[in-house]
Amino acid sequence: MGGAVKLIVGLGNPGPAYADTRHNVGFDIVDRFAKRLGVHWNGEKFHGWFTTGDAGDQRVGLLKPMTYVNRSGRSVQAAVAFYKLEPSDLLVISDDLALPVGRLRMRAEGSSGGHNGLQDVIDRLGTDQWSRLRIGIGIPVGDPAHYVLSRFDGAEEEIMGRARPFAVEAVACWIENGVQLTMTRFNGDPPER
């Protein structure tokens, strides 16, 4: 086995009412990565759905906080403390209102960019020195709170059909190669089919 566990967290809201909404793209990517690893959600742990698997020789924990997006830090903090993780072992996946639909932006550190879930993780961990993968959901039309809970339209869904597997590849790259190479390879729009 590789070193310590790497923790991949997807942000989203629990419950069927929120499934497939823009705000739940983090859940979607972590679900897809779980399928890639051939693992199932074992049940609740760390105030969320949690499972583990192996990506090559690296042990990976996957977490979907069930605290609602704005309180995601509670769940992340519990998992980080349990595994005694360094910030460099954490990747949080979220939606981003400032990016065009489907565009990826990986960062090694930084502010929340106005995302309440990322801000809660920063506040709970007391640091912003951890990786985050943001997936563009488009600039809001009307009320941002309503917009993030809406679903992608047909044209947007076509782009997301390429962006989701691209994001899963970015997660795999981060685990194997680290944040810097992942930023170089994956920051931008998903490739055309």
Q: Which residues are catalytic?
A: 23
What's at 4, amino acid-wise? A
Give the Cα separation of 174 and 46 in Å (integer). Answer: 23
Give the Cα separation of 138 and 32 in Å (integer). Answer: 21
**Which residues, in sequence order, are CB contacts of 153 under 8 Å at separation 6+?**
none
Give the Cα separation of 187 and 111 in Å (integer). Answer: 17
Element (H, E) at 169: helix 154-177
